Structure 1
Amino acid sequence: MKQPYRTPAISAANKFFKQTPEKISTDYEKAELALYTNMERLKAERLAREAERRAQRDVKQ
């Protein structure tokens, strides 16, 4: 049920103290995130190595 009147102070207080649902992460979600992050890091390292090799090969030619 809505309040019959709403002052700017009440609106500001409600926005400031608004309840936000807190996401509960499980151990599985944490492990999945760690795995994904590690895969992305390894992919970036591999692409950097490949680019460096290509650059060295182009300099030699």
Structure 2
Amino acid sequence: MTKTPGQFEPPKPITKAEREARKAFRQVDAGKAMTEHETAQKAFSANRERLKAERLAREAAGPPVSAKKAKTKKAK
């Protein structure tokens, strides 16, 4: 039997074994996602702390060297 365009075919019911397998895979995927998220957060935090330390060291070293001052035109 062929389907005509627009004809809806109801989904097949899921067996108990398929439900349990999907549940197990979801748990593994969720754990993997949480681990990746934690790793990314730790890397972000470490980078932020490194940049903060560099900024504080620059500020403690003294005022920044200013660029050449722009010459102003004298009014005659």
* TM superposition score category, shorter chain reference: 0.5 to 0.7
Residues 60 and 28 (structure 1), Cα distance of their counterparts in 2 relative to 1, 3 Å cut? same
Q: Give me the whole-angstrom Cα distance separating, in 1, the residues matched to 2:11 and 2:37.
A: 38
CA RMSD of aligned residues (A): 2.1
1:34 is aligned to 23
State the TM-score, normalizing by the size of structure 1.
0.59
Which residue of structure 2 aligns with residue 53 of structure 1? Answer: 42
CA offset at residue 21 of structure 1? 4.7
Q: Distance in 1 between matches of 2:8 and 2:40?
A: 48
Unpaired runs of 5+ residues, structure 2, are 51-76
Structure showing greater radius of gyration is: 2
Given candidates 8, 24, 33, the residue that maps to 2:13 is 24
Instruction: Give 1:46 deviation, angstroms.
Output: 0.9
**Structure 1 unmatched ranges of 5 or more:** 1-14
Q: Identity of counterpart residues, as a percentage?
A: 15
- Give the AA of the match of 1:51: A
- Number of positions where the alignment pairs a residue of Structure 1 with one of Structure 2: 46
Residues in 1 aligned to 2:38 and 2:11: alpha-carbon distance in whole angstroms = 40
The Cα shift of 1:60 comes to: 2.0
The AA in structure 2 aligned to 1:37 is R
